[in-house]
C-alpha cells in the first residue's frame, strides 16, 4: 500500500430506496466505498453478471444497536455497483459513501 492510498479521497454521499437490482454509477473511479443499510438487508454486486445471476455479492445487514456491523466498507476501485434488497421484494434504504481517488 502506498502512502497516497492513506490520504483518503473526496467523499460523495448517495442515498436511495432500493428494491430490485439497481445499477449505481459514480461520476468518477472511487478508491474507497462505505455502505450502510437503514431498513432491510441489502446485497451489493461489483459486476453486472453477478447482479443478473445473484451470485458473488456482499450481504449488508441492517444497522441497529444490536447489530452495529450493519455496514460494509473497504478499498474498492470501481465506477459502479449494483444494489438490491436482500429478497428483491421489500424496499431497503441505503446510504452509500464513495471516495474519489486523487490524481
At 13-41, the pLDDT tens digits run: 999 999 999 999 988 888 899 999 888 89
Give the pairing type, strands 92-100 and 10-18. Answer: antiparallel
Q: Check residue 55 and give its pLDDT.
A: 96
DSSP track, 11-69: EEEEEEEE-S-EEEEEEEEEEEEEEEESSS-EEEESSHHHHHHT-S-EEE----SS-TT
pLDDT-derived band at 3 (thresholds 50, 70, 90) equals: very low
Strand partners, 72: 35
38-71 per-position pLDDT tens digit: 888 999 999 999 999 999 999 998 877 776 667 8
Cell of 43: 446485497
Domains and CATH numbers, the chain: 3-100 (2.60.120.10)
DSSP 9: -
Q: Check residue 87 and give its pLDDT.
A: 85
Amino acid at each position: 500500500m502506498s502512502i497516497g492510498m492513506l490520504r483518503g479521497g473526496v467523499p460523495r454521499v448517495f442515498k436511495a430506496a432500493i428494491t430490485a437490482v439497481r445499477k449505481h454509477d459514480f461520476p468518477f473511479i472511487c478508491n474507497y466505498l462505505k455502505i450502510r443499510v437503514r431498513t432491510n438487508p441489502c446485497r451489493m454486486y461489483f459486476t453486472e453478471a453477478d447482479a443478473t445471476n445473484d451470485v458473488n455479492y456482499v450481504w449488508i445487514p441492517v444497522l441497529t444497536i444490536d447489530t452495529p456491523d450493519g455496514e460494509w466498507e473497504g478499498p474498492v476501485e470501481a465506477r459502479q455497483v449494483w444494489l438490491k434488497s436482500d429478497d428483491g421484494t421489500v424496499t431497503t434504504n441505503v446510504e452509500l459513501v464513495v471516495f474519489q481517488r486523487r490524481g
